[in-house]
Structure 1
Amino acid sequence: MWKKGKPKADLQRFSGKTSVIAAGAELVGELRFQGAVQVDGRLQGNLIAADGLVRVSIEGQVEGEIRAPHVILDGEVIGDVFASEHLELGARARVRGNLHYGLMEMAMGAQIEGRLCPVKEAPRPLELPASVETVQ
């Protein structure tokens, strides 16, 4: 009812472009991707996406930095998170690191050991339209 008109980034939006680190799997190293990644297992390294979605499920664990426009956390992250557009923390999210975000949603029960750092756009200087001439 309340979220009816609110657009959300989810794995369905990236259908056909979704990668999964399965439960029980462990990946060591940096992962760069386009689309979406769901972490159900363990990743030791950084997750980086210029355009995409990272989802860490309840059983998922990431030890490293996460950089993506959209990040949904329900599991554990040990490292900084950079979500330039949207960051969602579920009730079972556990983060040890700083959170940098454009917009953040946080459910009751989420745990954070770090700083909350909203990403603000740089102030733009006031410019006159090209059709306005200076008066002497």
Structure 2
Amino acid sequence: MFNRKSKSTIDSLIGASTNIEGDVHFKGGLRIDGHIKGNVIAEAGISSILVISEQAVIDGEVRAGHVVVNGVINGPVISTELIELQSKARISGDVHYKALEMMNGALVSGKLAHDQIAEPVLKLAASN
């Protein structure tokens, strides 16, 4: 029904036995299976995908273009393209998105905010 083509592939993996304290900045695609105490932020202006697996826990802000969640996020989530909340997703924080897919069983404890992220097409000059 929907023909979705992923513009990004997974370039990096944070394994299940990995614990990181501090912010993680990435380009392209990142899969997280471990625990991060800090923000996870994709580079702005570049297509990105972030996959948070069932084992993953993030204590901090998450910001990326396409976000797939099946783990735990304790903090706000900002998706500039699409966020997919799979059945075991648990988010404690506000979720800002352009497009949202939410499966049965996913839980969000916070606000869901549809953000129309668009640049103005026409700017008018003030007349004298």
Q: TM-score, normalised by structure 1?
A: 0.81
**Segment drifting more, 82-91 vs 46-55:** 46-55
1:93 is aligned with what amino acid? A
Are the counterparts in 2 of residues 101 and 119 from structure 1 also a CA contact under 8 Å?
Answer: yes
Task: Select which of 29, 34, 39 maps to 2:22.
Answer: 29
Instruction: Please give the residue correspondences for 1:1-136 in structure 2 after superposition, counting only pairs within 5 Å.
Output: 2-3=1-2, 6-9=3-6, 13-14=8-9, 18-49=11-42, 50=44, 51=46, 52-121=48-117, 124=120
How many matched pairs? Answer: 121
RMSD: 2.1
Unaligned stretches of 5+ in structure 1?
A: 129-136
Which aligned runs of 4 or more in structure 1 are off by greater than 6 angstroms? 125-128
- Which segments of 5 or more consecutive residues in structure 2 lack a partner in the other structure? none
Q: Give the structure-2-normalised TM-score.
A: 0.85
Q: Percent identity?
A: 34
- 1:53 is displaced (CA, Å) by 1.1
Equivalent residues of 1:9, 1:70 under 8 A apart: no
Tell me which structure has the larger Cα radius of gyration: 1
